[in-house]
Amino acid sequence: MATVKKPSIPKAPNTTPNAPAVQEAARPVSVKPAPAKAEVTKPASKKAAPKKSPTAKAPAPKKAPVKKAAAKRLLSKAFAPAKAEKAVKPKKPKLVRDSFTIPKAEYLVLDELKQRAAKLTRPAKKSELLRAGIKALAALSDAAFLTALEQVPAIKTGRPASTK
């Protein structure tokens, strides 16, 4: 079986894989190339040929079709009829996660309020109830707000002691 030898691309003499290739015309006249290998060199072309690795099989795709497609999109946008601007969505508020201690009796009131909201065909979460309470407090006058605060006893902050 005869093997067909693929044509090889001549490499620039005295180059290493990590060092950039030096063209023949750019070398000083006084430096002579090493006589170890005698190769026939072609005159330097305008563009340096890219190195092909032994595992490379196909050339890289050209970028021209992408540029044409981008140009078509720009032209279509430029000549497209003016559309009404979309409604700008308001930014979502940044949420804060927090934990707090609450007496068991008041926690049970939250559950009763959840059940009450469900009976009124408006199910609510605990966080929604707390936020509604905050809005209701904010709407109170200063005198009513102070009386509401006085009705709530102060509790010790932190996690409750575990009962084992």
Q: Mind listing the pLDDT tens digit for each residue in 130-145?
A: 999 999 999 999 999 9
Which comes out higher in pLDDT, residue 102 or 62? 102
Q: In whole numbers, what is the pLDDT of the chain averaged over residues? A: 74
- Residues 150 and 143: beta-carbon distance below 8 Å: no
Closest CA to 131 of 150, 113, 152, 158: 113
pLDDT above 90 coverage of the chain, percent: 30
Residue 24 has pLDDT above 70, yes or no: no
Closest CA to 49 of 15, 19, 12, 24: 12
pLDDT above 70 coverage of the chain, percent: 48
CA distance 126 to 8: 75
CA distance 38 to 160: 88
Q: What is the mean pLDDT of residues 25-37?
A: 56
Q: What is the mean pLDDT of residues 38-52?
A: 57
- Residues 133 and 113: beta-carbon distance below 8 Å: no
For residue 41, count other CB atoms closer than 10 A to its CB: 10
Q: What is the mean pLDDT of residues 35-59?
A: 58
Q: What is the mean pLDDT of residues 121-126?
A: 94
CA distance 146 to 140: 9
